[in-house]
Structure 1
């Protein structure tokens, strides 16, 4: 694997070691191999780890197949993939509702990851999961296309630098147009499929809700997450008496007014870690 990256104009000068370790999060073992094999070039010349790199420098990193463990994924159907954005490092696709993000068993072939593996196979690339969407949720989802960028995208997600906006249609009306739900979420003791608000043993979970429109018996809301707990939006809204329509786990009458879970990952936005370009995608069709 060989990757050539041009450092952006606003890059802060540093040595190659710092760039690889602190900015690009290259694992220690892989950094060692890059240094020993002299597999780093800057503007076409082999460079050492202590040497400085500057804005607009062009870095070429060459990895051996043994540097990273490549995943084994059963191939699905490439035609089921709808790309929203793609470059050599990552891809954002539009996930249909009712499709799992990734397999739980080695022989599964009908998940989004399987179909994406088939889509990328002709390019000799592999998909890597950055974050997940529930099976019943549709919309924009991000995958890495190589193990080099995977930890970088993971850090952006952890530091809330990847902005994800969700649409939901929920039961009832709200007394205010904006609210923040801060309730810890833990596992349900009897039903392993479900999560519950658990202030004592749960994990911190924060959801920001904006009410877009209120109808007679339902509301259209947009949500943004500070954390990414399983079923977070569904659990948080249900805890306030506003379950998502069509929710088979958290709505007492899930089929009332909906033939699917009315939760959709509307958009995804981030600053590209290598080019510093703003990437924004919107997953159609929207819920309203």
Structure 2
């Protein structure tokens, strides 16, 4: 595998060792092999790790098969990969509700990861999970297209530098135009599928909620996450008395055949290599989608 990256205009001059270790998070073992094999080129010439690179330089890294073993992913249906954005390093796709983000068993083939693997197979790339959506949730999901960019995207996620905006329809009327929910979230003591508000032992969670519309019995909201706890939006909205409509876990007496009314509408980040801003929105909003499952 070869990776060629043109350093952006904002790049500050530094030595190759620092670039690989601190900026690009290349593992120590892989850095060792890049050095001894002389597999780092700058503008077409092999370079040593103490030499510097600057904005506009074209850096090429050459990896052997054992440096980053290719994951074994069963191929799904390439036609089910609804691509919203793609370049050499990452891909953002629109997940329909009702399918998993990734398989839990090796024989599963009808998950989003399987379908993206089939889509990328002709190019020789493989997808790597950066974050996930619940099976019942639809919307934009980010995947890495190579193992080098994966930890960089993971770091941006940890630093809250990947913004995700969701749309939801909730039961009841929220009277405030906007609110922020900061209740801590922990595991349910008796049901491993569920999460609960747990101010004593839970982890911090922050959800910003903005009302966009109201009907006679429900409220449409936009939710922006600061943290990414499991079921965060679902738990937070249920905790203030407004569960997401159609939620099989957190809405009592959820309507039969009603899909979970939660959709990841927008995803924004700064590209880890080019530093360009990327903002992707799904073509359809939650209001434009069928309310019924199937």
- Give TM-score scaled by structure 1 length: 0.97
Equivalent position of 2:285 in the other structure: 286
Equivalent position of 1:106 in the other structure: 106
Does the CA-based 8 Å contact 1:209-1:221 persist in structure 2?
A: yes
Equivalent position of 2:272 in the other structure: 273
For 1:93, what is the secondary structure of its paired residue? strand
Task: Give the distance between the partners of 1:161 and 1:189, measured in 2 at CA.
Answer: 32
Task: Give the distance between the partners of 1:217 and 1:255, measured in 2 at CA.
Answer: 13
Q: Which moved more, 1:174-183 or 1:51-60?
A: 174-183
| Residue ranges of structure 1 left out of the alignment (5+ in a row) | none
Q: Structure 1 segments of 4 or more deviating over 4 A? A: none
Equivalent position of 2:56 in the other structure: 56
Whether 1:33 and 2:52 are equivalent positions in the alignment is: no
Deviations 1:61-91 (A, max 9, x none): 0011100132111111111111000111110
| Residue ranges of structure 2 left out of the alignment (5+ in a row) | 288-294
- Give the total of aligned pairs: 287
**CA RMSD between the two structures:** 1.1
Equivalent position of 1:154 in the other structure: 154
**Shift, 1:214, TM fit:** 2.1
Equivalent position of 1:93 in the other structure: 93
Task: Give the distance between the partners of 1:15 and 1:122, measured in 2 at CA.
Answer: 36
Task: Give the distance between the partners of 1:175 and 1:259, measured in 2 at CA.
Answer: 24
Equivalent position of 1:196 in the other structure: 196
Q: Map residues 67-86 of structure 1 onto 2, 5 A cutoff.
A: 67-86=67-86
Does the CA-based 8 Å contact 1:139-1:284 persist in structure 2?
A: no
For 2:220, what is the secondary structure of its paired residue? strand
Equivalent position of 1:135 in the other structure: 135
Equivalent position of 1:7 in the other structure: 7
**Shift, 1:240, TM fit:** 0.3
Equivalent position of 1:175 in the other structure: 175
For 1:235, what is the secondary structure of its paired residue? helix
**Shift, 1:50, TM fit:** 0.9
Equivalent position of 1:222 in the other structure: 222
Task: Give the distance between the partners of 2:10 and 2:143, measured in 1 at CA.
Answer: 26
Task: Give the distance between the partners of 2:29 and 2:114, measured in 1 at CA.
Answer: 29
Q: Map residues 13-24 of structure 1 onto 2, 5 A cutoff.
A: 13-24=13-24
Deviations 1:28-64 (A, max 9, x none): 1111111111100111111111111111011010011
Task: Give the distance between the partners of 1:229 and 1:72, measured in 2 at CA.
Answer: 28
Equivalent position of 1:144 in the other structure: 144
Task: Give the distance between the partners of 1:264 and 1:186, measured in 2 at CA.
Answer: 23
